[in-house]
Structure 1
């Protein structure tokens, strides 16, 4: 119940607000978020790159994606974060998301996990939108889920 309340409050207060954007290291921010999340036996792979972002909100975005990967793919999941020409991607080697469900998972309150709150990916989308980014959920290269973030200038 506490997690649900915290997620709802964060979504209501901060879901569409970002501070000043600045060049932020994707790898450094992903590693910082990884240390905050209970990652068990999961593995993180990162590549260097930068994106103009609010550093704290980018960290929160990564935290939510990492929790989501572990919740849906298990403790041994591998998560990869890397820059792209127009932004960055976060991918995992879990079971992925069926195409018919990909848009639904960004809706507040939607979760396929029995103990999920359904707010993590809604927060991810709102943080992306607040930065002016689009977010697309696609198949990963080796299965799993791949979240592609693209800047408006891409």
Structure 2
């Protein structure tokens, strides 16, 4: 229920663009998001040590939704990896992946393959990325599951 309320609040807050950007440490954010999601026997690998200019609350919701999605659609011992891309970052897992024919549909409001899913999580992920002026693309991961690539992000200088 808490996740549903958080998703609905994020959906209501996410406008066409984000105006307040701050440096957000992706390693710290990832660790905090991991604590906020029921990760059961899942494992996390963080391969990025950068700060991205973002709205921290919205970015947290994005990460939590993608982590939750990996766990809900993978096995209880799924591995999630967060890493750096040229101009962005990725979140991938070693779960079952997403069929090519579904890769566009997964971001539609109300789309879900889960028995008790309501289809808000990935729609919010897409809205958050677009509100930041970023792009999101889903593909197969190097781990064999799904990989969400977020590009167009601006990293803060260290």
What TM-score do you get using the length of structure 2 for normalisation?
0.88
Per the alignment, residue 92 of structure 1 pairs with 93
Alpha-carbon RMSD across the aligned residues, in angstroms, is 2.0
Per the alignment, residue 105 of structure 1 pairs with 106
Distance 1:66 1:54 in 2: 18
Are the structure 2 counterparts of residues 97 and 151 from structure 1 closer, same or farther at C-alpha, using a change threshold of 3 Å?
Answer: same
Are the structure 2 counterparts of residues 73 and 100 from structure 1 closer, same or farther at C-alpha, using a change threshold of 3 Å?
Answer: same
- Post-superposition shift, 1:130? 0.5
Matches within 5 A, 1:55-94: 55-94=56-95
- Post-superposition shift, 1:57? 1.1
Give the paired residue count: 153
Q: Which runs of 5+ in 1 are unaligned?
A: none
Per the alignment, residue 127 of structure 2 pairs with 126
Per the alignment, residue 14 of structure 1 pairs with 13
Matches within 5 A, 1:14-53: 14-16=13-15, 18=18, 20-47=20-47, 48-53=49-54
Distance 1:70 1:19 in 2: 32
Are the structure 2 counterparts of residues 58 and 9 from structure 1 closer, same or farther at C-alpha, using a change threshold of 3 Å?
Answer: closer
Q: Which runs of 5+ in 2 are unaligned?
A: none
Per the alignment, residue 139 of structure 2 pairs with 138
Is the CA contact (8 Å cut-off) linking 2:137 and 2:150 kept in structure 1? yes
Distance 2:119 2:109 in 1: 6
What TM-score do you get using the length of structure 1 for normalisation?
0.91
Distance 1:44 1:6 in 2: 22
- Post-superposition shift, 1:10? 3.1
Distance 2:2 2:21 in 1: 31
Secondary structure of 1:132 counterpart: coil
